Amino acid sequence: NEIIKRPGEEVRFFPSYDNVLLASTVIRPEMSTKGVILFIHGLGARSNMYLPLADELAANGYIIYLLDIRGHGYSHGVKGHMPSSDAMGKDIYHFYEYVFSIEGSSQKYIAMGHSLGTYIWINTLSSYSDIDIDTLVLISGGTVNNLNTLKTIKENSRYFSHINKLKAFLSLFNHNIKPIHIVFPDIPQLEQSGFVQDYGFSFFSMFRDSENRFKTFYQNTNIPIMMISGS
């Protein structure tokens, strides 16, 4: 709760391709800068939850931009919905351009994602060759053989998801109906703090036919990649 409500952080808003305002929380080091990290959070989450990680990275000389993806955290947009299959990629491209316009070309840029954020980064980098990233850091995700877990029921000790069949049918006619429900630990602060639990199929449309594209990305990329495993 203290992390979620932590005051005094620098939150910046920038327009995406369709003028929806996206938010990024910025943590800066008190020493000379080693590089800039562009961070994308996991499913259902928001950037605030990663402030302890950002603090540690800042203590080691990095500027961190923690993005709230569309409809999450401070960002505007419909929760759990994407207007098109390429909307997320466009959002991340505008995120990169926004940070680059502030920090400049002399910095080293590190793309970092957790869980869903790892796949969002791969999806974006495989589509936009002009995003100049020096290093890609993937935390608890990013492997092609685990990509299907984003499309199926997932259950473990922390959370699980399920699909409401009736809502799934109705969503064919109304994209505002969200049949995918994410169940988090029974912590009251999560629901009150902007976490997203209900998603439409549109949100995951970016991953349609993505397995071959992701494999091609890994085969062809020259970007150094660090993969960190764990739950």
Q: DSSP readout, 45-94?
A: --GGGGHHHHHHHHHTTEEEEEEE-TTSTT--S-TT--SSTTHHHHHHHH
Does position 152 have pLDDT exceeding 50, yes or no? no
- Of 190 and 108, more confident: 108
β-strand partners of 25: 11, 66
Does position 12 have pLDDT exceeding 80, yes or no? yes
Q: Average model confidence (pLDDT) for the chain?
A: 86
- Of 211 and 161, more confident: 211
Q: What are the φ and ψ backbone dihedral angles of 136, each rounded to 5 degrees? A: -120, 125
6 is written with which tokens? Answer: 């932590």
**What single-letter amino acid sits at 62?**
Y
pLDDT band at 151 (very low <50, low <70, confident <90, very high): very low
Of 96, 91, 93, 54, whose CA–CA distance to 76 is shortest?
A: 91
Does position 147 have pLDDT exceeding 60, yes or no? no
Does position 5 have pLDDT exceeding 80, yes or no? no
Helix (H/G/I), strand (E/B), else coil: 171: coil
**What single-letter amino acid sits at 51?**
L
- Of 227 and 8, more confident: 227
What is the share, in percent, of the chain residues with pLDDT greater than 90? Answer: 61
50 is written with which tokens? Answer: 């990663």
Q: Where are the domains of the chain?
A: 10-150+203-228
Our CA dihedral for 151, 189, 38, 231, rounded to 10 degrees, sits at -50
pTM summary value: 0.88
pLDDT band at 6 (very low <50, low <70, confident <90, very high): low
Q: Which residues contact 30 (CB under 8 A, 6 or more apart)?
A: 58
In angstroms, rounded to a whole number, what is the distance separating the alpha carbons of residues 59 and 104? 21
Question: Interior CA angle at 227 toward 223 and 231, to 5°?
Answer: 150
In angstroms, rounded to a whole number, what is the distance separating the alpha carbons of residues 51 and 184? 19
Give pLDDT tens digits for 104-135. Answer: 999 999 999 999 999 999 999 999 999 999 99
CATH superfamily placement of domain 10-150+203-228: Alpha/Beta hydrolase fold, catalytic domain (3.40.50.1820)
Does position 227 have pLDDT exceeding 90, yes or no? yes
In angstroms, rounded to a whole number, what is the distance separating the alpha carbons of residues 110 and 39? 8
In angstroms, rounded to a whole number, what is the distance separating the alpha carbons of residues 89 and 73? 18
Does position 166 have pLDDT exceeding 60, yes or no? yes
Does position 162 have pLDDT exceeding 80, yes or no? no
pLDDT band at 153 (very low <50, low <70, confident <90, very high): very low
**What single-letter amino acid sits at 171?**
S
What's the rounded mean pLDDT across residues 3-19? Answer: 83
In angstroms, rounded to a whole number, what is the distance separating the alpha carbons of residues 99 and 231? 29
| Highest-scoring range by mean pLDDT, 3-7, 65-69, 215-219 | 65-69
